[in-house]
Amino acid sequence: MNGKKFLAIFGILVSLLLLAACQPETVEVVKEVEVTREVAIEKEVEVVKEIEVVKEVEVEKEVEVTRIVEVEATEPLPNGILEGKPYDGTTIRFLSCCPSAAQFLAWEKSATEFEELTGITVEFVWEPFGGFREKITTESIAGTGSFDAMFWIESWGASLQNFILPIDEWVERDGIDLSDYPEATLEISTYSDQLHGLPTRSHVYLLFYREDVLNELGIEPPETWEELEAAAQRISEETDMDGLALHFAKQGTDQNLNTWVNFMRANGTDWFDADWKPTFNNAAGVAATEQYLSLMEYAPEGVATFQENDARTAYLQGEVAMAMLWSWSYELMINPEKATSDVVVHTKFGPIPGPDGPAESFGMTWPAGVSASSQNPEAAWEWVKWITSTEVELQAISDKSDPKTSTVVASRFSSLTDPAANQANNGLNQAMADAFQSANHRPIIPEWPEVIDIMGTAMTELAAGADVQATLDQAAADVEAVLDREGYYD
């Protein structure tokens, strides 16, 4: 090859190399995403080719450009509520009683947030307590679907079960943690081996007392029947107050039996034996009843005609120094609009006294569920999950800014043991959690409304002075006749 050809070929090669070097560079983009609980941080790293000409020689440098973008992260919805608003635009009707109850007003207040999360509008249908069971029954029999969700008094539940949808499949699908509920409240909500509702309004029986009055008399909070009677006697004799508030008048459910049940069970007997034969009229039941009735001597005048609210009012107004009541009563005792200043400041609480020490508490709940005649059962279930969520419970029991919606009522252990809630309620919720660990409850049978009608009448007769053994024997015979009619002894 001669020199001219070599130079020509060399020149062509150099030209090709220079042309290749001048081609546009591909921009490489590397993305990294870092996610925290509150926000997602998106970091975008871009590698850019920067061309610098130095003495007619092109030099490439890599320059890193970083941009940070904050993107809002979404929290999971409470208690298994479905994502994506699958029932957006649906309106459901919620049947409720007791429009002055702080817990229910808190639910109504929360309906706005629920609608924002789910797109479901909730209309409250308020019914007086006296007609509440009849409303559930008549509307359900008619099948009109006039309400989609409701709660019910636990003593009615078994007799209403055909009007309420079982929820076991929904509970499993949505991952509802049933272990967060006291066993007693789940048993109350279960009929024919199927869960029909989630516990919502749960209470235990507690002894409330005025610490200042007991301290002035040098009395320790009573834990036994003997100590309770001795304290009530001294208060009645040495102060201008009565010792203890009780109530015996028959009401729509079994309110006048609740305190007596604590005494009866603490003395080692119960409503029935294993064969459903009444046992409350045995020797232990008679002794417990006589002990309970003996406390009337230290109660306000006219106590034989007191309903539950009369007993509570006597305590709130400072007329008595002790009262055995449902735990929810404490929300009134710390409300300066409902109670005297001494009651607000000095009320304490403890377990119900028993024969030899603190007794197991009597527990209850009002479950919430979905009407069998609802036209929107899935949307109604979303609402039930909402009002039974830990988030809604904690908001209601911790926020004291509005007395109308300030409650102490919760059903979940996670709510009852929450430090902030207990600070707001002076440890009342922890006392409820402790009592619920061993709480007993009413028998869950369809005939229970008939049973308590018989027993409620017997209690009013006992308060009026009827013979204890004879009255309990007659009540036992009447109750046994009801169960016999329904085939319990076949």
3-state secondary structure 108-139: HHHHHHHHHHHCCEEEEEEECHHHHHHHHHHH
- Boundary-marking domain end, from 436, 454, 470: 436
pLDDT one-digit tens code per residue, 396-442? 999 999 989 999 999 999 999 999 999 999 999 999 999 999 999 99
What is the per-residue pLDDT across 127-138, written as a single tens digit (0 to 9) for each? 999 899 999 999
Q: Which H or E run contains 95? A: strand 91-97
pLDDT beyond 50 at 464: yes
**Separation of alpha carbons 167 and 289, rounded Å:** 39
**CA angle 104–105–106, rounded 5-degree value:** 90
Q: Look at residue 41 and tell me if it is in a domain.
A: no
Is-contact 331 408, C-beta < 8 A? Answer: yes
> Other CB atoms closer than 10 Å to residue 57's CB: what's the count?
8
pLDDT at 75: 78
- 416: CB partners within 8 A, 6+ apart: 410, 429, 430, 432, 433, 436
Q: Tell me the mean pLDDT in the region 270-293.
A: 98
pLDDT(5) > 60: no
On whether the CB atoms of residues 455 and 475 are closer than 8 A, the answer is: yes
Are 271 and 329 contained in the same domain?
yes
- Residue 37: what pLDDT? 38
pLDDT value, residue 181: 98
Task: Identify the bridge partners of residue 76 per DSSP, sorted by sequence position.
Answer: none
Cα distance between the two ends of the chain? 122
CA angle 151/153/159 to nearest 5° reads 100
Q: Which of 338, 324, 318, 334 is nearest to 235 (CA)?
A: 318
Residue 32 has a pLDDT of 41
Residue 38 has pLDDT above 50, yes or no: no
Those residues with Cβ within 8 angstroms of residue 388's Cβ, 6 or more apart along the chain or in another chain: 79, 198, 199, 200, 368, 411, 412
Q: Rounded to an integer, what distance in angstroms lies between the CA atom of residue 361 and that of residue 352?
A: 7
Given a contact cutoff of 8 angstroms between Cβ atoms, the answer to whether 323 and 208 are in contact is yes
382 plus 276 within the same structural domain: no
Number of domains in the chain: 2
Are 137 and 271 part of one and the same domain? Answer: no
90-106 tens-digit pLDDT? 999 999 999 999 999 99
Specify the pLDDT at position 74: 63
Flag whether 35 is in a domain: no
pLDDT at 251: 85
Range of the domain at 184: 78-202+365-436
Give 224-247 pLDDT, tens digit per residue.
999 999 999 999 999 999 999 999
Q: What is the dihedral of CA 313, 314, 315, 317, to 10 degrees?
A: 80
316, 335: one domain: yes
List phi, psi (to 5°) of 146: -70, -15
Same domain, 122 and 147: yes
Does one domain contain both 284 and 380?
Answer: no
The tokens for 357 are 């020490």
% of the chain at pLDDT higher than 90:
82
- For the chain, the farthest-separated pair of C-alpha atoms sits apart, in whole angstroms, at 140
pLDDT digits (tens, 9 = 90+) for 246-278: 999 998 788 999 999 999 999 999 999 999 999
Structure-token match 């409503």, residue found = 271
The Cα 299–Cα 242 span in angstroms is: 6
> How many Å apart are CA 391 and CA 439, to the nearest integer?
25
Lowest model confidence (mean pLDDT) among 36-40, 107-111, 273-277: 36-40
Q: Is residue 384 one of the residues assigned to a domain?
A: yes
Q: What is the pLDDT of residue 254?
A: 86
In a domain, 220, yes or no: yes
Encoding tokens for residue 88?
């957006």
Q: Does residue 55 belong to any structural domain of this protein?
A: no
**Residue-level pLDDT at 253:** 81
430 close to 416: Cβ distance less than 8 angstroms:
yes
Contact 410, 393 (CB under 8 A): yes
Q: Is residue 174 located within the same domain as residue 187?
A: yes
Half-sphere exposure in the Cβ direction for 19 (13 Å, CA): 6
Is 111 domain-assigned?
yes
- Helical ranges in 295-358 per DSSP H: 308-316, 330-333, 341-346
Q: Does residue 98 sit in the same domain as residue 212?
A: no
pTM of the full structure: 0.83
Q: Are residues 357 and 325 in the same domain?
A: yes
| Cα separation values, 134 from 138, 152, 475, Å | 6, 11, 25
How many angstroms separate the Cα of 379 from the Cα of each of 140, 194, 360, 398?
18, 21, 39, 28
Whether the CB-CB separation of 225 and 354 falls below 8 Å is answered with yes
Around 49, how many Cα atoms within 13 Å sit in the side-chain half-sphere? 13
Give the domain CATH number at 457: 3.40.190.10
Instruction: Verify that 418 and 461 share a domain, yes or no.
Output: no
Residue-wise pLDDT for 293-331, tens only, equals: 999 999 999 999 999 999 999 999 999 999 999 999 999
Asked whether 392 and 411 are in contact (CB, 8 A), the reply is no
Average pLDDT, the chain: 89
Q: How confident is the model at residue 168 (pLDDT cuts 50, 70, 90)?
A: very high
The CA R_g of the chain, rounded to the nearest whole Å, is 34
- Report the distance separating Cα 154 and Cα 201, nearest Å: 10
| CA distance linking residue 347 with residue 320, whole number of Å | 12
Has residue 343 been placed in a domain? yes
Average pLDDT over residues 342-360: 97
Domain for residue 48, yes or no? no
CA atoms of 461 and 323, how far apart (whole Å): 22
Instruction: Examine the domain organization and report whether 258 and 373 are in the same domain.
Output: no
- What average pLDDT does the segment 345-363 reach? 96
Window from 21-35, 109-123, 272-286 with minimum mean pLDDT: 21-35
DSSP label at residue 273: -
Q: In what order do the strands lie in the sheet with 57-72?
A: 28-35, 39-54, 57-72
Same domain, residue pair 158 and 254: no
* pLDDT value of position 22: 44
| pLDDT, tens digit, 9 for 90 and up, residues 41-80 | 344 434 444 444 444 444 444 545 444 444 444 678 999 9
